[in-house]
């Protein structure tokens, strides 16, 4: 009797997922724990492995379909009872259009994705170009669909070098319009992010306050300790660990920003789970540094680097993204000079970092050039008053400009 390939539970609040891609076709042999399909959930993407070695005999749900947790999506014949794979049948199934593919224009030869089974056998390696083509995401290469608005009346009229006869009126130039459009199903992650951002705007009294930070002290510390840190821990000392520590220092002084609005009550937290916003091909993800107050600078950098690598490989788990008491986002890596970040509900605040620029500033009555960064704090005004928000951001500024303050707790 065939084994049923079922969708596993992927998170406490997740009831449905989407089949993003089949890595195997009907008739293909599969090994135990070998990825068979890519599953897209509200929080992350993961590969669904085969429960036993055998043959994929029947695909029940096609790519692009939304299915319930626990639903059977395929049948696998265990190896002991499976017949030899039929190469002809496998090729027919692999080339046949799926439900998802019939809604999209066909790809040209240069745009087709690599062979899926070869990709699956290659482990977790996923190239950027492959992901961009095979996943239903806004980053896919658009299909070019030229539209001709008028046709020439004859072959002679179509010739561009046809001379005008004497007395002929010049013909109006033919209107040609090239439209580049493509309808792509929105991923579950993108839908969830969109819904939560709109909900945050509707249900929170969000306000943003700004400040600017001189980065000279941090840059000097990084230069001084970079080599030793890299030799000992195998990781570079970045900016984010400084801001994680500075944010925690500020949150301890202004706990409203680490709190949560819950009905008519305020839930205060005495721990600091800091979410770090990371841009991935599928959209923005926010993995969480658990108990970040207990982590060293090196541990913070190691965990962030690990999150970034796993986000690129689409290996983040739902538990990596769950919870969080405060979030830090760094638009500066893309060159953003200033922004107003949106809170990740039900949190009460988010700290936005931006690009570092050398700017003229006044110091001791003199105009000098310093590396400066604008920082922004968006906060829920229902929980946090303007005074606390401004003082929190000023505390972050002081901690970055004089890191010894965090050690001395002054």
Residues marked active site are found at 381, 385
Strand ranges in 7-157 using DSSP code E only, listed in sequence order: 16-22, 29-30, 35-40, 45-49, 54-59, 66-68, 72-78, 144-148
Q: Which residue's structure tokens are 């929080």?
A: 43
- C-alpha atoms less than 13 angstroms from C-alpha of 110 in its C-beta half-sphere: 2
Cα gap 328→6, rounded to integer Å: 36
Q: Which residue's structure tokens are 């080599």?
A: 227
State the pairing for strand pair 45-49/72-78.
unpaired
Cα gap 294→310, rounded to integer Å: 23
Tell me, what DSSP letter sits at residue 343? P
Omega prior to 349 cis, within 30 of 0: no
Rg, Å, the chain Cα set: 28
């Amino acid at each position: 009797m065939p084994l049923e390939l079922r969708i596993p539970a992927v998170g406490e609040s997740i009831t449905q997922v989407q089949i993003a891609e089949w890595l195997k076709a009907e008739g293909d042999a599969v090994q135990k724990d070998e990825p068979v399909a890519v599953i897209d959930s509200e929080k992350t993407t993961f590969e669904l492995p085969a429960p036993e070695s055998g043959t994929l005999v029947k695909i029940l749900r096609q790519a692009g379909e939304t299915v319930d947790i626990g639903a059977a999506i395929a049948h696998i014949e265990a190896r002991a009872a499976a017949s030899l794979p039929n190469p002809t049948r496998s090729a027919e199934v692999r080339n046949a259009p799926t439900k998802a593919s019939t809604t999209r224009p066909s790809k040209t030869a240069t745009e087709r994705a690599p062979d899926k089974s070869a990709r699956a056998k290659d482990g977790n390696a996923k190239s950027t170009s492959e992901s961009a083509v095979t996943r239903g995401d806004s980053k896919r290469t658009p299909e070019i669909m030229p539209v001709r608005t008028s046709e020439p009346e004859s072959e002679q009229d179509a010739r561009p070098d046809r001379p005008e006869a004497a007395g002929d009126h010049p013909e109006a130039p033919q209107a040609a319009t090239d439209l580049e459009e493509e309808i792509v199903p929105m991923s579950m992650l993108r839908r969830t992010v969109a819904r939560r951002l709109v909900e945050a705007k509707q249900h929170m009294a969000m306000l943003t306050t700004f400040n600017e930070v001189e980065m000279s002290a941090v840059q000097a510390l990084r230069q001084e300790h970079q080599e030793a840190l890299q030799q000992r821990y195998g990781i570079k000392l970045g900016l984010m660990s400084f801001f994680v520590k500075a944010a925690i220092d500020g949150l301890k002084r202004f706990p409203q920003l680490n709190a949560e609005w819950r009905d008519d009550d305020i839930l205060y937290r005495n721990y600091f789970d800091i979410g770090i916003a990371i841009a991935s091909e599928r959209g923005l993800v926010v993995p969480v540094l658990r108990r970040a107050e207990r982590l060293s600078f090196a541990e913070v950098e190691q965990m962030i680097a690990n999150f970034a690598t796993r986000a690129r490989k689409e290996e983040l788990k739902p538990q990596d993204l769950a919870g969080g008491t405060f979030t830090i986002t760094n638009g500066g890596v893309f060159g953003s000079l200033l922004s107003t970040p949106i809170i990740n509900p039900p949190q009460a605040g988010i700290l936005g970092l931006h690009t570092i620029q050398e700017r003229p500033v006044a110091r001791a009555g003199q105009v000098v050039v310093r590396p400066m960064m604008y920082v922004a704090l968006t906060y829920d005004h229902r929980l946090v008053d303007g005074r606390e928000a401004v003082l929190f951001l000023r505390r972050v500024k002081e901690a970055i400009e004089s890191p010894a303050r965090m050690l001395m707790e002054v």
